[in-house]
C-alpha cells in the first residue's frame, strides 16, 4: 500500500486505489462525421449518447475523442467517443486508459455485431475481434483481447458483397422505434456493469433479440 493510502486508511479516508476501483471507462465505437450519423456501425456512439443524455452529462472535445463524465451510486463513469475513425479506435482507448489510470476490468467497449440478431445484447469479459476493425485495433494496441465488451446486434440482412454498404447504411424507418428500446436497455446494462459487476450484468442482460412484437416476458410484466 502506498504511504499516502496507508495514512488515509488510518483516518478512515478513501484511498487513491479505492477511488480508481470505482472509475469506469465506457467507450462507444463509431466513425466521426455527420454522414455516419444513424448508421448501424455507429451504434456505439448512439448508446453512449443516450446514456449521457439520461444522466444530464454533455460531451466535450478531448484528446483523440469526445468525453462526458457523471457519477452514479458512488461510481465515476467516463463516456468516450473516439474521433480517430473506427479502425484506429485503439489509440484513443489506450491513451485514456493510461491517462485516467483505469483498470482493464473497468473498461467497457460498445460496438455493433453482424453475427447477432438486431437489438440483441451480448456482454462478454473477453473474446476475439470477430472481423470488427475497431475491436481488432483495440486488441492490437492494448496487447490483449481480455477486456469487457458489449456487442449490439445489427443483424445481417445484406446480399453477397454488400456487407460494407449494410454496416455503413442507416437504420430502416421501421427499426427506429424498436431500436430506441434496445438502446435504453444497453444504457441500463452499462450502469449495471459499474454497480453490480460484470457477471451479474451478463446474467441480467445477455440475449433477448429485438422484436416488433412484445415478448411473452414483456407481456407478463405489463399485466403484473
List the CATH number of the domain containing 206.
3.40.50.1470
- What pLDDT shows up at residue 51? 98
Residue 203 in any domain: the answer is yes
In this predicted structure, the answer to whether residue 8 has a pLDDT above a threshold of 60 is: no
Average pLDDT over residues 25-41: 95
Residue 5 in any domain: the answer is no
Percent of the chain residues topping a pLDDT of 70: 83
- What pLDDT shows up at residue 68? 98
Residue 2 appears among annotated catalytic residues: no
Residue 3 in any domain: the answer is no
Angle at the Cα of 90 from the Cα atoms of 18 and 94, rounded to 5 degrees = 30
Residue 94 in any domain: the answer is yes
| 122-167 confidence digits (pLDDT tens) | 999 999 998 899 999 999 999 999 999 999 999 888 878 788 889 8
In this predicted structure, the answer to whether residue 12 has a pLDDT above a threshold of 60 is: no
> What are the C-alpha distances in Å from 179 to residues 19, 130, 174?
35, 23, 9
- What pLDDT shows up at residue 209? 58
In this predicted structure, the answer to whether residue 185 has a pLDDT above a threshold of 80 is: yes
pTM: 0.84
Residue 7 in any domain: the answer is no
Residue 45 in any domain: the answer is yes
> What are the C-alpha distances in Å from 108 to residues 75, 148, 168, 187, 191?
14, 5, 23, 12, 11
- What pLDDT shows up at residue 14? 54
In this predicted structure, the answer to whether residue 176 has a pLDDT above a threshold of 90 is: no
Q: CA 40, CA 46: separation in Å to the nearest integer?
A: 10
- What pLDDT shows up at residue 64? 97
DSSP character string of 142-169: HT-S-S-EEEEE------TT-HHHHHTS
Average pLDDT over residues 49-62: 98
- What pLDDT shows up at residue 111? 97
At residue 15 the predicted structure's pLDDT band, cuts being 50, 70 and 90, is: low
In this predicted structure, the answer to whether residue 189 has a pLDDT above a threshold of 60 is: yes
At residue 217 the predicted structure's pLDDT band, cuts being 50, 70 and 90, is: very low
> Lowest mean pLDDT: which of 56-60, 67-71, 173-177, 205-209?
205-209
- What pLDDT shows up at residue 191? 98
| 71-100 confidence digits (pLDDT tens) | 999 999 999 999 999 999 999 999 999 999
> What are the C-alpha distances in Å from 71 to residues 22, 110, 195?
10, 19, 11
The number of folded domains in the chain is: 1
- What pLDDT shows up at residue 193? 98
- What pLDDT shows up at residue 6? 53
Single out the catalytic residue among 27, 39, 41, 108: 41
Residue 11 in any domain: the answer is no
- What pLDDT shows up at residue 195? 97
Domain that holds residue 166: 16-223
Amino acid at each position: 500500500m502506498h504511504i499516502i493510502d496507508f495514512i488515509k486508511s488510518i483516518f478512515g479516508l478513501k484511498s487513491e486505489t479505492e477511488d480508481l476501483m470505482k472509475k469506469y471507462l465506457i467507450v462507444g465505437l463509431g466513425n466521426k462525421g455527420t454522414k455516419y450519423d444513424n448508421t448501424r456501425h455507429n451504434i456505439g456512439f448512439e448508446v453512449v449518447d443516450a446514456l449521457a443524455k439520461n444522466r444530464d452529462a454533455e460531451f466535450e472535445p478531448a484528446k483523440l475523442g469526445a468525453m462526458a463524465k457523471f457519477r452514479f451510486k458512488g461510481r465515476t463513469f467516463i463516456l468516450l467517443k473516439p474521433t480517430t475513425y473506427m479502425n484506429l479506435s485503439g489509440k484513443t482507448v489506450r491513451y485514456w486508459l493510461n491517462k485516467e489510470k483505469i483498470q482493464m476490468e473497468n473498461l467497457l467497449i460498445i460496438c455493433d455485431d453482424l453475427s447477432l440478431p438486431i437489438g440483441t445484447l451480448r456482454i462478454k469479459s473477453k473474446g476475439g475481434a470477430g472481423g470488427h476493425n475497431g475491436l481488432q485495433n483495440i486488441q492490437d494496441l492494448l496487447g490483449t483481447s481480455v477486456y469487457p465488451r458489449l456487442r449490439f446486434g445489427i443483424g445481417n440482412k445484406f446480399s453477397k458483397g454488400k456487407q460494407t454498404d449494410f454496416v455503413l447504411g442507416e437504420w430502416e424507418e421501421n427499426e427506429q422505434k424498436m431500436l430506441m428500446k434496445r438502446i435504453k436497455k444497453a444504457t441500463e446494462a452499462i450502469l449495471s456493469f459499474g454497480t453490480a459487476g460484470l457477471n451479474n450484468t451478463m446474467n441480467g442482460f445477455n440475449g433477448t433479440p429485438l422484436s416488433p412484437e412484445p415478448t411473452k416476458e414483456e407481456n407478463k410484466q405489463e399485466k403484473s
